[in-house]
Structure 1
């Protein structure tokens, strides 16, 4: 169940003030307003942060929940942020390309099709130990860059600085939505809307506020966030791929 935007904003502000007073870095996740709409954003640097995709445990069983992801981690490792990481079939298999630990589990899909995933251009989030990229799917299929982890979803929200051409400013289709982009300096920025928003509004968040030249829609009505620093753990039905950041104790 999603807590009201006002409460999340107050929590985020309190955490920010406390961190600043203690001389700590800014929190991984924070609540923001864009065009009078509330969003929660989480930022990570691939050069220093352990950003991963999760799908199955060591026995091949689909994890599906933030709690099971945490339980799957070795002792001393903590899930510090997570959200659903791409679209999936009813049995929670990824709809498009999925790579984890260098192993390709599902193949790329480049044809147009039904639903948001098939609203071309769609794209791929490609993660390596020190970098993150969002790449349009057909370009990815041509170039075949090496990815330690990758997830395909769609549609693209921002393509080379431009909104997806099918997004309509006057649209009345509003849902909770989550997505991911990469800033020009290489930081990964994930965002989830705290109220239902249109694709146009969500795309402009990434283009105009988060300044990501390329950004990818991950999912809509099933969008959920795990951000313990904000005391937030959205519950719901089990998911497919999950995007998360892991920290290790000293």
Structure 2
């Protein structure tokens, strides 16, 4: 079964995305330990990697399509949901957009996956993108253009989160991001079938060799990968991470 047909079998909504002529896709499907994942690798120094929450009028984007409509002469070549949010779609944890703090850093333990410490922050700087454990982020106070806090951490200094169990039976579609320590490589991953935390974290550690990785969410996990002909849709989202690239405005639909 292909990743696309597996998603359809689970009742997850996907749509055919408009191909972007002349633009290489940063995404590909991989298999790890018999399970299927889609990964999207980004070069933070070369790619226009951003977080999206509010538009120029202060409204919430909520969807990949809304970002595309607002991006004059540009389009998303990759995007996914990027952190947990309240029913009003405001971020649960720390959130920065263009250097402006929307939500403060949350350092205490709490309910749910977000509060399963250690959690972490995905920080996009001038030419780097790093996953940083929350207390380390607080101590280092790195300069971030964008930042989103989520949890739990999937991989911490090369080790899986201590609470992940190899024999867990809790499976969900999950998505997250992993980075190198230097922040020169960021890889976003979404599972194409329900997986455990242990299975998901292992992709970053063992298949991608990334020492730091952060969970974004489960159940609501969605991916926009027009190069693969995929753009998931459903309920409106909160924070979204994506890469914008110039497109030929004369293309159909441009």
TM-score normalized with structure 2 length: 0.88
One of 110, 131, 136 as aligned partner of 2:128: 131
What is the count of residue pairs matched by the alignment? 232
Query: Equivalent residue for 1:223?
Result: 221
Q: Deviations over 1:68-121 (max 9, x none)?
A: 011121x21111000001000000000000001010101010000000000000
Residue 64 of structure 1: CA displacement?
0.5
One of 158, 163, 166 as aligned partner of 1:166: 163
Q: Distance in 1 between matches of 2:7 and 2:142?
A: 42
Q: In structure 1, the residue corresponding to 2:105 is in which secondary structure?
A: coil
Q: Cα gap change, 1:196/1:6 in structure 2, threshold over 3 Å: closer, same or farther? A: closer
CA RMSD of aligned residues (A): 1.7
Which structure 1 residue ranges, 5 or more long, are not aligned? Answer: 8-23
Q: Distance in 1 between matches of 2:38 and 2:60?
A: 26
Query: Equivalent residue for 1:3?
Result: 4
More helix by share: 1
Moved over 3 A (4+): 24-27
Query: Equivalent residue for 2:109?
Result: 112
* Contact 2:81 2:223 (C-alpha < 8 Å) held by counterparts: yes
Asked if 1:103 corresponds to 2:104, the answer is: no
Asked if 1:143 corresponds to 2:166, the answer is: no
Q: Deviations over 1:219-247 (max 9, x none)?
A: 00000000000000111100000000111
Query: Equivalent residue for 1:18?
Result: none
TM-score normalized with structure 1 length: 0.89
Q: Distance in 2 between matches of 1:111 and 1:227?
A: 35
Q: Deviations over 1:163-209 (max 9, x none)?
A: 00000000000000000011356211000000000000000000000
Query: Equivalent residue for 1:15?
Result: none
Query: Equivalent residue for 2:76?
Result: 79
Residue 249 of structure 1: CA displacement?
3.9
* Contact 1:183 1:189 (C-alpha < 8 Å) held by counterparts: no
Q: In structure 1, the residue corresponding to 2:29 is in which secondary structure?
A: strand
Q: Distance in 1 between matches of 2:236 and 2:89?
A: 8
